[in-house]
Protein backbone atom coordinates (compact mmCIF):
# COMPACT_ATOMS: atom_id res chain seq x y z
CA UNK A 1 0.00 0.00 0.00
CA UNK A 2 1.31 3.42 -0.93
CA UNK A 3 0.48 6.29 1.46
CA UNK A 4 1.53 9.82 0.54
CA UNK A 5 1.45 12.75 2.99
CA UNK A 6 2.10 16.18 1.51
CA UNK A 7 1.94 19.73 2.85
CA UNK A 8 0.68 21.45 -0.30
CA UNK A 9 1.20 24.90 1.23
CA UNK A 10 -1.56 27.49 1.14
CA UNK A 11 -4.11 25.26 -0.59
CA UNK A 12 -1.89 24.51 -3.57
CA UNK A 13 -2.76 27.74 -5.38
CA UNK A 14 -1.27 27.88 -8.88
CA UNK A 15 0.61 24.64 -8.11
CA UNK A 16 -2.61 22.58 -7.66
CA UNK A 17 -2.52 21.08 -11.17
CA UNK A 18 1.18 20.21 -10.86
CA UNK A 19 0.51 18.62 -7.45
CA UNK A 20 -2.29 16.53 -8.99
CA UNK A 21 -0.01 15.41 -11.84
CA UNK A 22 2.74 14.39 -9.40
CA UNK A 23 0.29 12.46 -7.23
CA UNK A 24 -1.00 10.66 -10.34
CA UNK A 25 2.59 9.66 -11.21
CA UNK A 26 3.11 8.23 -7.72
CA UNK A 27 -0.19 6.27 -7.93
CA UNK A 28 -0.89 6.36 -4.18
CA UNK A 29 -3.60 4.32 -2.49
CA UNK A 30 -4.12 6.92 0.25
CA UNK A 31 -3.26 10.63 0.21
CA UNK A 32 -3.11 12.96 3.21
CA UNK A 33 -2.83 16.64 2.29
CA UNK A 34 -2.14 19.36 4.83
CA UNK A 35 -2.80 23.05 4.20
CA UNK A 36 -5.72 21.98 2.01
CA UNK A 37 -8.31 24.77 1.82
CA UNK A 38 -11.90 25.37 0.75
CA UNK A 39 -10.66 27.35 -2.28
CA UNK A 40 -11.15 26.70 -6.01
CA UNK A 41 -7.57 25.37 -6.50
CA UNK A 42 -7.99 22.89 -3.62
CA UNK A 43 -11.42 21.87 -4.97
CA UNK A 44 -9.87 21.21 -8.41
CA UNK A 45 -7.15 19.14 -6.75
CA UNK A 46 -9.76 17.08 -4.87
CA UNK A 47 -11.66 16.51 -8.13
CA UNK A 48 -8.45 15.36 -9.86
CA UNK A 49 -7.88 12.90 -7.01
CA UNK A 50 -11.39 11.51 -7.54
CA UNK A 51 -10.66 11.15 -11.26
CA UNK A 52 -7.46 9.21 -10.45
CA UNK A 53 -9.35 6.70 -8.31
CA UNK A 54 -9.13 8.35 -4.88
CA UNK A 55 -12.89 8.81 -4.66
CA UNK A 56 -13.28 8.36 -0.90
CA UNK A 57 -12.47 11.71 0.72
CA UNK A 58 -12.75 13.36 4.12
CA UNK A 59 -11.73 16.93 4.87
CA UNK A 60 -11.66 19.27 7.83
CA UNK A 61 -12.34 22.34 5.63
CA UNK A 62 -14.89 24.88 6.71
CA UNK A 63 -16.48 26.45 3.59
CA UNK A 64 -17.16 29.63 5.61
CA UNK A 65 -13.40 30.24 6.01
CA UNK A 66 -11.89 29.72 2.56
CA UNK A 67 -8.32 30.67 3.44
CA UNK A 68 -8.01 28.53 6.56
CA UNK A 69 -5.54 25.65 6.35
CA UNK A 70 -7.17 22.27 6.86
CA UNK A 71 -6.64 18.62 5.95
CA UNK A 72 -7.83 16.24 3.24
CA UNK A 73 -7.64 12.44 3.23
CA UNK A 74 -8.36 10.67 -0.06
CA UNK A 75 -8.36 6.92 -0.56
CA UNK A 76 -9.16 4.12 -3.00
CA UNK A 77 -11.12 2.50 -0.18
CA UNK A 78 -13.87 3.82 2.12
CA UNK A 79 -12.81 6.12 4.96
CA UNK A 80 -14.46 6.37 8.37
CA UNK A 81 -13.85 9.35 10.62
CA UNK A 82 -12.85 8.27 14.14
CA UNK A 83 -13.86 10.53 17.01
CA UNK A 84 -11.72 11.05 20.06
CA UNK A 85 -12.96 12.08 23.48
CA UNK A 86 -9.86 14.21 24.01
CA UNK A 87 -9.45 15.52 20.46
CA UNK A 88 -7.54 18.77 19.97
CA UNK A 89 -9.66 21.92 20.11
CA UNK A 90 -8.65 23.05 16.60
CA UNK A 91 -10.71 20.57 14.55
CA UNK A 92 -9.33 21.84 11.23
CA UNK A 93 -5.86 20.63 12.18
CA UNK A 94 -6.69 17.05 13.21
CA UNK A 95 -8.16 14.11 11.28
CA UNK A 96 -8.24 10.52 12.47
CA UNK A 97 -9.66 7.99 10.01
CA UNK A 98 -9.98 4.26 9.48
CA UNK A 99 -9.19 3.11 5.95
CA UNK A 100 -11.25 0.06 5.01
CA UNK A 101 -8.51 -1.34 2.75
CA UNK A 102 -7.55 -4.99 2.21
CA UNK A 103 -5.12 -4.41 5.07
CA UNK A 104 -7.18 -1.99 7.22
CA UNK A 105 -5.31 1.02 8.57
CA UNK A 106 -5.90 3.75 11.09
CA UNK A 107 -4.37 7.07 10.03
CA UNK A 108 -3.93 9.95 12.43
CA UNK A 109 -3.15 13.18 10.68
CA UNK A 110 -2.24 16.19 12.76
CA UNK A 111 -1.19 18.82 10.34
CA UNK A 112 0.72 20.54 9.09
CA UNK A 113 3.52 20.29 11.65
CA UNK A 114 2.71 16.92 13.20
CA UNK A 115 3.75 13.39 12.35
CA UNK A 116 1.58 11.00 10.38
CA UNK A 117 1.28 7.76 12.33
CA UNK A 118 0.10 4.82 10.25
CA UNK A 119 -1.04 1.83 12.26
CA UNK A 120 -2.59 -1.48 11.22
CA UNK A 121 -6.18 -1.71 12.41
CA UNK A 122 -5.46 -5.18 13.78
CA UNK A 123 -3.50 -5.57 17.04
CA UNK A 124 0.22 -5.11 16.57
CA UNK A 125 2.46 -8.11 17.15
CA UNK A 126 4.84 -6.12 19.31
CA UNK A 127 4.61 -2.77 21.14
CA UNK A 128 8.09 -1.82 19.94
CA UNK A 129 6.74 -1.45 16.39
CA UNK A 130 4.82 1.65 17.51
CA UNK A 131 7.39 2.76 20.06
CA UNK A 132 10.13 2.86 17.43
CA UNK A 133 8.08 4.02 14.45
CA UNK A 134 9.69 6.84 12.47
CA UNK A 135 9.04 10.32 13.82
CA UNK A 136 9.83 13.66 12.21
CA UNK A 137 13.06 13.79 14.26
CA UNK A 138 14.09 10.34 13.00
CA UNK A 139 13.48 11.29 9.38
CA UNK A 140 15.71 13.38 7.18
CA UNK A 141 14.62 16.59 5.49
CA UNK A 142 15.64 16.59 1.84
CA UNK A 143 15.69 19.08 -1.00
CA UNK A 144 15.53 18.05 -4.65
CA UNK A 145 17.65 19.55 -7.41
CA UNK A 146 14.67 21.80 -8.23
CA UNK A 147 14.48 23.02 -4.63
CA UNK A 148 11.45 20.93 -3.60
CA UNK A 149 11.40 19.96 0.06
CA UNK A 150 10.63 16.45 1.21
CA UNK A 151 11.19 13.95 3.97
CA UNK A 152 13.11 10.73 3.53
CA UNK A 153 11.64 8.23 5.95
CA UNK A 154 14.14 5.88 7.49
CA UNK A 155 12.85 2.37 6.90
CA UNK A 156 12.59 -0.42 9.42
CA UNK A 157 12.23 -0.70 13.15
CA UNK A 158 14.57 -2.20 15.71
CA UNK A 159 14.33 -5.94 16.20
CA UNK A 160 11.64 -6.93 18.67
CA UNK A 161 12.87 -7.91 22.14
CA UNK A 162 9.48 -8.82 23.61
Over the stretch 41-93, which tens digit does the pLDDT of each residue have? 999 999 999 999 999 999 999 888 888 999 999 999 999 998 777 666 677 77
What's the confidence (pLDDT) of residue 135? Answer: 37
Q: Lay out the sheet containing 94-99: strands in order across.
A: 79-81, 94-99, 105-110, 118-120
Domain membership of residue 146 (yes or no) is yes
157 found inside a domain: no
Q: Is residue 147 part of a domain?
A: yes
In a domain, 160, yes or no: no
Q: Is residue 159 part of a domain?
A: no
Helix 40-51 to helix 16-26 angle (10° resolution) is 20
Residue 117 has pLDDT above 70, yes or no: no
Q: How many domains does the chain have?
A: 1
pLDDT for residue 5 is more than 70:
yes
- What residues make up the domain containing 115? 3-152
Contact 140, 152 (CB under 8 A): yes
Contact 104, 80 (CB under 8 A): no
pTM: 0.68
Q: Is residue 67 part of a domain?
A: yes
Q: Higher model confidence: residue 139 or residue 26?
A: 26
**Gyration radius of the chain's alpha carbons:** 16
Residue 69 in domain: yes
Amino acid sequence: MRVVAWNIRAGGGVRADAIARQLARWQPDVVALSEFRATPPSARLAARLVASGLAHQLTTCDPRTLQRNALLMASRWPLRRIGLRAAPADRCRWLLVAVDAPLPLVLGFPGPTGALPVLPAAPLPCPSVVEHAPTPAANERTRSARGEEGVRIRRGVPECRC
